[in-house]
Amino acid sequence: MKNLEITTPLVSVSWLSKHLDHPDLIILDATIKKVTSHDTIKKPNVNIKNARFFDIKHTFSDTNTNIPNMLSSPETFSEACRALGISSHHKIVIYDKLGIYSSPRVWWMFKAMGHNAVAVLDGGLPSWQKAGLPCEPEENSIKITASGNFEATLVPNLIQDADAIVNAMNNNDILILDARSPGRFTGVEPEPRKSLKGGHIPNSINLHYTKVLNNGKMLPTSELLEILKPFSIENKKLIFTCGSGITACILMLASELVGYHKVSIYDGSWSEWGQLDGVPIEC
């Protein structure tokens, strides 16, 4: 069997179907519930064949903080990956049951942990099902029979904290893009997490994550370029933020797809900034 290579951050359902049973491939279901209260989408109770569940909210997040979805330590991440049977030689494809929502977060997590052989399934489970490709009931999910040997190596330049944001927000060489809705960005729409203030990081720019998607799939690169072009990003470093580090990764994926790689994620995002004392907020 030929070696499996992942050369793009986004793969199609036809690509995954072709390589579905390759021994070097790991398929991860990264589904989470949307934080916004108007999420009424019924999620299918089936998985793509051979998929393993990647628990963003618990197993793979730092549980020692009140900020949701924070990246865990490399040691914790490695241990959890090994328990899923993931080894460092594996090629990883991630999907979710909403199309593209939480899967880019896991794509970024692996990249931040030094593993670049990783991609998001364009359109997720809905596109897979629409193509009539093999699924299995959730209760029949793959049984992990052996631990992996995954070893994480943190890539610090892909991750930003609040101190970095303080330094970045008045730096003309850095652009902060906020993936939340316009209402949340301007503070006229309440935050779904009730304890948080409204508004946005000073000098940040709003680009709602839905702008780069169409029916749960990424827009073509030509359209992504048109969306990003007004922000004059060519000579800037980009930091993406959102509510809790999930949808920021959708914007980062879009940027990578058009060949822009000077990118990072503010891991704490508004869940951190919106509760900090002494940091500036604009509305």
- Least Cα distance to 185 among 165, 170, 205 occurs for 205
Across the range 27-34, mean pLDDT stands at 94
For β-strands 237-241 and 174-178, DSSP reports them as parallel
Domain extent, residue 268, equals: 157-273
CATH number at residue 231: 3.40.250.10
Indicate the number of domains in the chain.
Answer: 2
Q: Give the pLDDT confidence of 67-86 residue by residue, as tens digits.
A: 999 999 999 999 999 999 99
pLDDT in tens, 173-224: 999 999 999 999 999 999 999 889 999 999 999 999 999 999 999 999 999 9
Closest by Cα among 21, 96, 13 to 53? 96
Tell me, yes or no, whether 147 and 161 share the same domain.
no
Tokens of 275: 């509760």
pLDDT tens digits along 116-133: 999 999 999 999 999 999
The answer to whether the pTM exceeds 0.85 is: yes
Q: From 136, 154, 172, give the residue that closes a domain.
A: 154
**Does residue 57 form part of some domain?**
yes
Q: How far is CA 197 from CA 10, 16, 49, 204, 277, in A?
A: 35, 42, 42, 16, 11
Residues labelled as active-site residues = 242
| Within-domain flag for 4 | no
* Mean residue pLDDT across the chain: 95
